[in-house]
Amino acid sequence: MDALTPGGILVQVLLRFVPVWIALVVTLVASFIFRRRLGLYGKLFDSPVGMVGLFIVMFWAYTALFAGMIITHDPLDQVVQLKNAWPGAAAPKSEAGYPWYIFGGDNLARDVFSRMVMGARRVLIIAPAATTFAYMVGITLGLPAGYSGGRLDTILSFVANLVLAFPVILLFYLLVTPAIRQTGVPIYLAAVLFLFPILFLTVLWNSRYFTSPWKRNIYVGLTLVIGFWAYSGLAFNADPLGVFTMDSNMLNVFVSVVFVNSPTVFRIVRGIVLDIKSRDYVAAAQTRGEGPWYIMLWEILPNARGPLIVDFCLRIGYTTILLGTLGFFGLGVSPESPDWGSTINAGRKLLSIYPYPAFVPAIALMSLVLGLNLLADGLREESLRD
Amino acid sequence: MLKFLMRRLGTMILTAFCLTFVVFFLTNLHPNLVKLAKTEASARMSDDQVNSWLQSHGYAAPLVSRYGEWLGLVPGWTGTNAETGKPTGRCVDPNAPDTPAPRYCGILQGDWGTSTVFKQPVSTIIGIRMGLTGLLMLWVLIVMIPTSLIIGILAGMREGSRTDRVLSTLSIASTATPEYVSGVVLIVLFGSTTVGLSPLFKSLGLLSSGTLFKGSASSAMDHITFDNFALPVMTIALYGIGYIARMTRASMTEVMTAQYIRTARLKGVSFRNVVLKHALRNALIAPFTVIMLQIPWLLNGVVITETLFNYKGFGWTLVAAAEGNDIELLLGCSVVAVVVVLLTQLISDIGYVYLNPRIRIS
């Protein structure tokens, strides 16, 4: 096989992403047809910026989903002849399988393209999950702080400001090290942080259905059973059935990212609650004699959803940047891991001679974050319109 | 105002104590101390030997009292060297153990300890490194503030116009590009001998040296030139430009819809004058706060950029200290970082009150 020309590279890349294109066309056409019934999501199709953002984000989401079909080589396979190869280089005849390294090879002779695609999977699992957890923590603490104020608010705000005053990188260097894993600090942090989703859902169901105890018991019971089952597996790696597990490296990274993000979410939620709690419908609920948690979770929170959804998108992007930063400093990831931050870090040493191993994941990371930011911008525009 | 200042200062000092204690706790965890003992004495020590080393070097005391020693509120530990019989202690100079030592020696007395990696006093290292980083930051601010303000004002002046859309999208793109990405892209574009613009310029005969800009800033530590400093400065500035520009734009669009702007337009003041004399002054209050609060974030950018471009300033030192398990140096770096963050918060609060007379503090 000959090496690919630039045009050939483009054709091959487009061909490799065929599953993604099909999925994208199906989803986007379906969403476009039913856009009037899809609420805020449907309205995105009225804003060009939002549409571009949605397209990019969906592209990466499907890439992560179909990564196994897209990659041309195993992300850890080495073909010695293709060490530091240029994009489109042909594999030697003796090698079976896909004949080219589409985006070249890195300094350990691995395929840059396949690593980039597999890296998407890792980022797109951790970033949204960590952001969701940070939201659970931020909402569960921010609602009572804003609603009842007083000493609780003072203490929580002080702690939040404390975490925010830390330079992020210093915090990462202190929290994500092999030494700290020996002491068990990440597990304690996880034990505290992972309780919040269970707490949030329990209070949510309880405050809504406490008038019909039967329904309430089912919802709360299910939450507690599934919640603590996942909790035992994720935080302590002690799931009796072995369904939920988390590798200790990943747990460490996950916990620190949640820890860094929660105080900001807390401040946003608190600010919105302070604004909303003087509205008439809150006063009406108070007069009806609703409990404080019902008012916070079922009166205030739904009305705060606009800014929260926008910030959620932005925050996934920010979390992606944080994960990249961790990888860039080689914190909490194994050297073989294909995640974008550590590939950039590995590639930067030979950057001025062999730029591709670092350049490709850099562009991938940038496009994902850009997509999320554009999506957030589109959502903001559309949610402000009504 | 005075009461407000006192309260802010009080919270600030409390925050500083809490933060330094957390850093002290995390850097003095037992595995770190064991690692320190092994690098300082011998890598093949048994557990007992490690414990006795920690004992004889003052690491066995409770965490709180060691934190007090480090701060300078508790007298430094003392002991005697088992072999020579000379006094040892936190405040004793190891080169001249017989000279009388002060009782307290912590950061409050100006003694920041000695770095185990660089074998120099922490205060000297931080002084030199901060100087280098200060230069970098100075140039970043010189590039970043005017650019972002101009972009924000141009975009916010006529909301919804084509200029606005283009500039807003560009700002979003720049906030979506973290330093380690923009650094890589800039080096590939301008600092690479094989790809990007440099080979192109060279083939056109416009360039005599290897690359347009240097991909490493290590020579800038002695002598700053345009070609060794442009890329790191741009890398840090790019991320901030988008953010400040968006804030300026938001504040500008808000001001442009205000009643007094419409009045000025209706009484016949030219658009140019409305923007320059009426709108600008009110639109710049919000960006001031944003710029001040952006400085702690620049600190992050500095760490990444200095590592990427091998510029041995404060950020590079922080990474070196963290990776070399250099406890005293890392503590020193965190003190500086925390103070910078808290000071910028204070300045932004005070500045906001000064710039916006509608806010009264009682």
What pLDDT shows up at residue B167? 92
Element holding B78 (H helix, E strand)? strand B78-80
Nearest to A319 by CA among A254, A379, A245, A272: A254
Q: Does A310 touch chain B (CB under 8 A)?
A: no
Q: Do B177 and A373 touch (CB under 8 A)?
A: no
What pLDDT shows up at residue A22? 92
Nearest to B180 by CA among A385, A128, A359, A167: A359
Tokens in use for A79? 């073909």
What pLDDT shows up at residue A139? 94
Nearest to A144 by CA among A207, A71, A58: A207
B43/A288 Cα distance (integer angstroms): 71
Are the CB atoms for B50 and B34 separated by under 8 Å?
A: yes
Q: Which residue type occupies B265?
A: R
What pLDDT shows up at residue A306? 84
Nearest to B143 by CA among B189, B174, B105, B187: B174
In this prediction, residues A91-116 reach a mean pLDDT of 80
Q: Do A325 and B304 touch (CB under 8 A)?
A: yes
Q: Do B337 and A325 touch (CB under 8 A)?
A: no
Contacting A residues, span 33-92, partner chain B, CB-CB under 8 Å: 49
B90/B69 Cα distance (integer angstroms): 8
What pLDDT shows up at residue A220? 92
What pLDDT shows up at residue B82? 66
Residues of chain A in contact with residue B176, where contact means CB-CB under 8 angstroms, are: 317, 366, 369-370, 372-373
Are the CB atoms for B105 and B76 separated by under 8 Å?
A: yes
B250/A34 Cα distance (integer angstroms): 33
Q: How far is B280 from chain A (nearest CA, A)?
A: 25
Tokens in use for A134? 């940070």
The residues near B119 (Cβ < 8 Å, ≥ 6 apart) are none
Backbone angles phi, psi at B98, to 5 degrees: -85, -20
Of B27, B176, B299, the CB nearest to A167: B299
Picking from B39, B184, B197, B345 by the largest number of A CB atoms within 10 A of its own CB, the best residue to mutate is: B184
Nearest to A77 by CA among A130, A127, A117, A115: A115
Tokens in use for B185? 């892209």
Element holding A89 (H helix, E strand)? strand A89-90
DSSP A88: T
Q: Does A353 touch chain B (CB under 8 A)?
A: yes
Q: Does A344 touch chain B (CB under 8 A)?
A: yes
Q: Do A366 and B181 touch (CB under 8 A)?
A: yes
The residues near A377 (Cβ < 8 Å, ≥ 6 apart) are A49, A50, A53, B168, B172
Q: Do A169 and B300 touch (CB under 8 A)?
A: yes
Tokens in use for A336? 């073989």
Tokens in use for B253? 């669009």
In this prediction, residues A227-239 reach a mean pLDDT of 84
Q: Which residue type occupies A295?
A: I
| Chain B residue nearest residue A342, CA to CA | B180
B174/A370 Cα distance (integer angstroms): 9
Backbone angles phi, psi at B223, to 5 degrees: -145, 110
What pLDDT shows up at residue A224? 92
What pLDDT shows up at residue A250? 85
Lowest mean pLDDT among A78-87, A206-215, A291-300, B24-33: A78-87
The residues near B315 (Cβ < 8 Å, ≥ 6 apart) are B133, B299, B302, B303, B304, B305, B306, B307
pLDDT band at A159 (very low <50, low <70, confident <90, very high): very high
Of B175, B177, B215, the CB nearest to A351: B215
| pLDDT reading at A132 higher than 90 | yes
In this prediction, residues A138-162 reach a mean pLDDT of 91
CB count, 10 Å around CB of A363?
A: 17
| pLDDT reading at A130 higher than 90 | yes
Tokens in use for A120? 């998407």
Residues in chain A: 386
Element holding A70 (H helix, E strand)? helix A67-70
Please tell me the pTM assigned to this model.
0.89
Across the A:B interface, residue pairs with CB atoms under 8 Å apart total 137
End-to-end CA distance of chain A: 58
In this prediction, residues A159-163 reach a mean pLDDT of 89
Strand partners, A89: A101
- Tokens 């042909």 sit at which residue? A90
CB count, 10 Å around CB of B111?
A: 19
B112/B122 Cα distance (integer angstroms): 6
A259/A255 Cα distance (integer angstroms): 6
Tokens in use for A85? 């190869």
Lowest mean pLDDT among A222-231, A352-361, B72-81, B225-234: B72-81
A230/A228 Cα distance (integer angstroms): 5
Q: How far is A31 from chain B (nearest CA, A)?
A: 25
Contacting B residues, span 90-129, partner chain A, CB-CB under 8 Å: none
What pLDDT shows up at residue A222? 93
Contacting B residues, span 324-343, partner chain A, CB-CB under 8 Å: 325, 330, 333-334, 337-338, 341-342
What pLDDT shows up at residue A82? 76
Backbone angles phi, psi at B80, to 5 degrees: -125, 145
Per-residue pLDDT of chain B (362 residues; tens, 9 = 90+): 788 888 888 888 898 889 889 989 888 888 888 888 888 777 777 888 888 888 777 787 888 888 888 887 777 777 777 666 677 777 777 666 667 777 777 778 777 888 888 888 888 899 999 999 999 999 999 999 999 999 999 998 888 888 998 998 899 899 889 999 999 888 888 877 777 777 777 777 766 666 777 777 777 777 777 778 888 999 999 988 988 898 889 888 888 888 988 898 899 888 888 888 888 888 887 787 778 777 777 888 899 999 888 888 899 999 999 888 888 898 888 888 888 888 888 888 787 777 776 665 54
Q: Does A12 touch chain B (CB under 8 A)?
A: no
CA distances from A369 to A88, A130, A310, A376 (A): 27, 15, 14, 10
In this prediction, residues A218-245 reach a mean pLDDT of 85
